[in-house]
């Protein structure tokens, strides 16, 4: 026959049904016989000490439970906030966020399992949440490991310069890689010398290559024209390296609604900033007085590069814009996808508007 058991009213431990005292906390049950004579007198201090210890133990458990529940809720809330900062960068983040929310619900519910032998805060919180806090932090650390570090604007610029000279070094090692650049350079020189020609072929090639960029301008204008030619060269060559796919992806992001593909609302403020940047960049490439139908390729290339950067989410232009719009939270620099989408959508719109205006009315 199985031994009958009961629970101590003071500490909640399971003990023998016939026990007069709790062997864990010393609590004396009603009806327990008192020893007689000297034995009874000598037992009183022990009983008092046991009762005092039991009271302190019970109070400690009650306080620990309340503190653990409160700390667990606060800790899991912090975990959710940290997770939200990084989950938007990870494919399948929705499923991970759902898991974190389940963990939070579990922590808020709590459990009644405590061990008097482990009264440290971490142990109590872990017991109170059924291990949910540890799971939440483990999930966050795993997600953080999948997120690419976002550099500051200065570090991004330095990285771009380093990459530029690295590409030059590769060209020196492999001269064939410079053939497209050399061809484009020769075309610019030849077409510049033939700029007064009435040949339709010359005019079309001048438009396609933006050969007018930087001509008949001052030193600053010449530098702007050279940058414009570089933009055109990069845009044209990108079409042979997945450029069409990236442009299509960028268009999809822009026209995917107010919140975009990332789920973050597009920033109206950064959209307006992007429009201004697109217009100013176009005139920096062409010059205000020199802007005409034959210089519109600079604007078209600006549209292509803006869409391609937004679609590929890679390249110097994207990374630099990402660093400028990023936000440091809890020591972690995180991307602001809504600002990024707004900025590139604005740049695309700015280039498009000024290009159309130049072609039709200039």
Q: What is the pLDDT of residue 190?
A: 92
Statement: residue 262 has pLDDT above 60 = no
* CA 144 and chain centroid, separation: 9
pLDDT, tens digit, for every residue of 37-70?
444 444 444 444 444 444 444 544 455 445 445 5
Unique residue bearing structure tokens 């939070």: 104
Tokens of 310: 């937004």
Higher-pLDDT residue of 3 and 144 is 3
Cα separation of the two ends of the chain: 103
Sequence-distant (6+) residues with CB within 8 A of 162 are none
Alpha carbon distance 316, 156 (integer Å): 8
Alpha carbon distance 130, 251 (integer Å): 47
Beta bridge partners of 15: 6
Sequence-distant (6+) residues with CB within 8 A of 238 are 246, 304, 305, 308
What three-state secondary structure class fits 289?
Answer: coil
Alpha carbon distance 270, 310 (integer Å): 14
Alpha carbon distance 275, 353 (integer Å): 9
pLDDT, tens digit, for every residue of 120-129?
444 444 444 4
Statement: residue 106 has pLDDT above 70 = no
pLDDT, tens digit, for every residue of 283-322?
999 999 889 889 999 999 999 999 999 999 989 999 999 9
pLDDT, tens digit, for every residue of 232-257?
999 988 888 889 999 999 999 888 86
324 close to 267: Cβ distance less than 8 angstroms: no
Statement: residue 177 has pLDDT above 90 = no
Statement: residue 20 has pLDDT above 50 = yes
323 close to 282: Cβ distance less than 8 angstroms: no
pLDDT, tens digit, for every residue of 137-168?
565 555 555 555 688 889 999 988 898 888 88
């Amino acid at each position: 026959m199985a031994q009958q058991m009961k629970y101590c009213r003071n500490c909640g431990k399971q003990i023998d049904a016939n026990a007069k005292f709790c062997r864990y906390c010393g609590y004396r049950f009603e009806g327990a016989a008192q020893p007689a004579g000297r034995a009874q007198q000598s037992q009183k201090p022990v009983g008092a000490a046991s009762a005092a210890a039991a009271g302190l133990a019970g109070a400690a458990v009650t306080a620990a439970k309340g503190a653990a529940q409160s700390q667990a809720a606060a800790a899991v809330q912090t975990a959710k906030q940290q997770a939200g900062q990084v989950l938007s960068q990870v494919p399948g983040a929705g499923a991970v966020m759902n898991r974190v929310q389940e963990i939070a619900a579990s922590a808020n519910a709590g459990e009644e399992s405590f061990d008097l032998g482990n009264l440290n805060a971490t142990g109590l919180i872990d017991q109170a949440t059924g291990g949910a806090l540890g799971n939440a932090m483990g999930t966050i650390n795993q997600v953080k490991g999948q997120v690419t570090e976002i550099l500051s604007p200065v570090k991004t610029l330095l990285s771009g310069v380093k990459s530029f000279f690295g590409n030059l070094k590769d060209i020196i090692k492999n001269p064939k890689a410079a053939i497209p650049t050399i061809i484009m350079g020769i075309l610019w020189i030849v077409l510049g010398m033939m700029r007064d020609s009435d040949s339709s072929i010359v005019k079309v090639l001048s438009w396609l290559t933006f050969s007018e960029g930087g001509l008949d301008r001052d030193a600053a204008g010449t530098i702007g024209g050279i940058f414009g030619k570089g933009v055109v060269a990069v845009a044209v060559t990108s079409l042979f390296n997945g450029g069409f796919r990236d442009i299509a992806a960028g268009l999809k992001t822009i026209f995917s609604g107010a919140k975009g593909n990332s789920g973050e609302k597009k920033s109206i403020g950064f959209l307006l900033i992007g429009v201004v940047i697109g217009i100013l960049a176009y005139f920096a490439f062409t010059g205000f007085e020199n802007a005409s139908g034959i210089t519109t390729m600079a604007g078209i290339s600006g549209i292509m590069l803006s869409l391609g950067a937004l679609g590929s989410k890679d390249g110097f232009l994207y990374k630099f814009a990402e660093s400028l719009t990023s936000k440091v939270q809890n020591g972690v620099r995180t991307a602001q996808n809504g600002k990024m989408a707004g900025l590139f959508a604005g740049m695309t719109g700015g280039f498009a508007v000024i290009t159309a205006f130049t072609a039709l009315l200039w």
